[in-house]
Amino acid sequence: MNTEYFHSSIPLALESGEILGQFTLAFTTYGKLNEDQSNVIWAVHALTGDAQVADWWSGLVGEKAIYNFSQHFIICANLIGSSYGSSNALSENPKTGTPYFYRFPTLSTRDLAHSLEMLRQHLKIEHIHTLIGGSLGGQVALEWAFILGKKLQHAIIIASTAKTSPWVIGFNEAQRMAIAADSTWGQEHRDAGKKGLEAARAIAMLSYRNPADINSKQQEKEEKIEGFLAASYLRYQGSKLAKRFQAFSYWTLTKAMDSHDIGRGRGGVEMALKSIHAKLFAVGVNSDLLFLAEEARFLSQAVPSGSYGELASTAGHDAFLIEFTQLTRLIEEFYES
pLDDT digits (tens, 9 = 90+) for 59-99: 999 999 999 999 999 999 999 999 999 999 999 999 999 99
pLDDT for position 156: 99
pLDDT for position 267: 98
Of the candidates 288, 300, 313, 318, the residue annotated as catalytic is 288
* 59/322 Cα distance (integer angstroms): 8
pLDDT for position 230: 97
The tally of domains found in the chain comes to: 2
Q: Report the 10 Å Cβ neighbour count for 203.
A: 18
Half-sphere exposure of 17 (CA within 13 A, CB side): 0
pLDDT for position 170: 98
Q: What pLDDT, in 10s, does the model give residues 31-62?
A: 999 999 999 999 999 999 999 999 999 999 99
pLDDT for position 103: 97
Residues 159 and 172 in one domain: no
Residues 102 and 11 in one domain: yes
Tell me the CA distances in angstroms from 319 to 25, 37, 209, 285, 330, one per residue in order: 28, 31, 8, 7, 14
Of the candidates 72, 114, 154, 317, the residue annotated as catalytic is 317
CATH of the domain at 35: 3.40.50.1820
Q: Report the 10 Å Cβ neighbour count for 275.
A: 14
Active site residue 259: no
Contacts of 212 (CB under 8 A, 6+ apart): 287, 314
* 186/110 Cα distance (integer angstroms): 27
Active site residue 191: no
Residues 314 and 249 in one domain: no
pLDDT for position 313: 97
Active site residue 135: yes
pLDDT for position 246: 98
* 209/227 Cα distance (integer angstroms): 21
Residues 40 and 102 in one domain: yes
Given a cut of 70, the residues of the chain with pLDDT beneath it are none
pLDDT for position 184: 98
